[in-house]
Structure 1
Amino acid sequence: MICYLLPFFAGFALSASLIVAIGAQNLFVLRQGLKKEDVGMIVLFCGLSDALLIVAGVSGMGAFLNRVPQLSTAFALSGALFLAWYGLKSLQRAKNQDSMTVTQAQSVSLGKALAAVAAFTWLNPHVYLDTVLLMGTASTAQPIALRPFFAAGAASASFLWFASLGYGARLLQPIFAKPQAWRVLDMLIGCIMLFLAALLFWQGGQHIF
């Protein structure tokens, strides 16, 4: 039993260290959690996406991506455009929020929410670097028979993190009962999105030029 737990917790620890960071996907999950909108579906989508990418990395897809740098460039530029659009939208929303509270925050349909989180997830080249390349490389330290346990541990960390972020956001609701808190959050989201967009444009442009 111990021989199975060691790779499981190795994958869990590595995944947790990579995923707990301020990023576009995490900020979107946090915002949905604060609004209590489709939290279960958003958490499930993020967890399943990470699990799929982790399994792909452990299965050897990372080697393929290394041989096709054009694919990473396409993801970087597409992701940059989306992040820039969403960042500007967040800043505009912050500018117009004169009396918004947690119960009045703008609602979006489930379809639009899933489309947004899908873009944050699949158009971010860093997610492939972390979950496919890095996790895939780290898994090679485990015997082949134990790699599924490594992948299971890594995926479990993702599910736990997104569930904690989405459902734990309600603990912040007393703060976001104040309209000013929403303005600060959207300004923060907008600035981070634009920064990440600029970073992706720079990284993608390096491969083109």
Structure 2
Amino acid sequence: MIYYLQGLTMGLAYVAPIGLQNLFVINTALTQKRNRVFLTALIVIFFDVTLALACFFGVGAIMKQSKLLEMAVLLIGSIIVIMIGISLIRAKDTMDSSTDVNIPIFKVISTACVVTWFNPQAIIDGSMMLGAFKATLPMGQDLSFILGVASASCLWFMGISAVISLFSAKITDSVLRVINIVCGVVIVIYGGKLGLNFLNILF
């Protein structure tokens, strides 16, 4: 259970910061009917979870075969994760209502796919973060951890869709700022944990 909760926490910290996926879901929730809002959230969840699975099992499996590669990914992953966290703490995102969300469903699917799978930075960051954590998990706990990550994606995107649909008038730039700061701090902590794992292997 502890590894499921660790995956859930890591997943929430990684998916919550405002980015292309979140802005698309947020803008949909602010402008569309509720059935379209939740359908859009489910589509985004599908692409987000499939990317997480690819990053986790792909890079993580390769790392298990090479101690040198494992150390390299832990070190680089630690640095990247900490930098991501710091950039989130310093970021000043705003609500952007200019995105066109009044589009056919096939366009919603293609847009969700593009902002997830055709984002090189998301693939690199996800591989480093999830792949590195896979290498630190005890044998047999992989499934619990990645189920936690997948659950985080479902909870986050469905949650923000519901909350923003109900309380759209109360969502402000300051609320988004708090989300980024909290998630940034959590991600920096996880980055530090990766760094400690690297040092443990090294020494």
Q: TM tier, shorter chain?
A: 0.5 to 0.7
Q: C-alpha separation between the residues in 1 aligned to 2:101 and 2:139? A: 48
Q: In 2 relative to 1, CA 12–122 (structure 1 residues): closer, same or farther, beyond 3 Å?
A: same
Residue number in structure 2 paired with 1:30: 26
Counting only pairs closer than 5 Å after superposition, residues 1-209 of structure 1 correspond to structure 2 as 5-37=1-33, 38-61=36-59, 107-174=102-169
Residue number in structure 1 paired with 2:185: none
TM-superposition CA deviations, 1:37-68 (whole Å, max 9, x none): 5222221122222222222222133677x9xx
Q: C-alpha separation between the residues in 2 aligned to 1:151 and 1:130? A: 16
Q: What fraction of aligned residue pairs are identical, expressed as a percent? A: 25
Residue 140 of structure 1 aligns to a residue whose secondary structure is helix
Between 24-33 and 131-140, the greater mean CA deviation after superposition: 131-140
Cα RMSD between the aligned structures? 3.0
Letter in 1 for 2:47: S
Query: Mind listing any 5+ residue stretches in structure 1 that lack a counterpart?
Result: 67-89, 95-104, 185-209
Contact 1:58 1:151 in 2 (8 A): yes
Residue 141 of structure 2 aligns to a residue whose secondary structure is helix
TM-score by length of 2: 0.59
Query: Mind listing any 5+ residue stretches in structure 2 that lack a counterpart?
Result: 63-68, 70-95, 174-203
Contact 1:11 1:150 in 2 (8 A): yes
TM-score by length of 1: 0.57
Letter in 1 for 2:8: F
Residue 143 of structure 1 aligns to a residue whose secondary structure is coil
Larger Rg: 1
Q: C-alpha separation between the residues in 1 aligned to 2:47 and 2:127? A: 11
What's the offset of the Cα at 1:147?
A: 0.4
TM-superposition CA deviations, 1:47-96 (whole Å, max 9, x none): 222222222222133677x9xxxxxxxxxxxxxxxxxxxxxxx89x59xx
Contact 2:27 2:101 in 1 (8 A): no
Letter in 2 for 1:109: P
Tell me the number of residue pairs that the alignment of Structure 1 and Structure 2 aligns: 139
Contact 1:34 1:172 in 2 (8 A): no
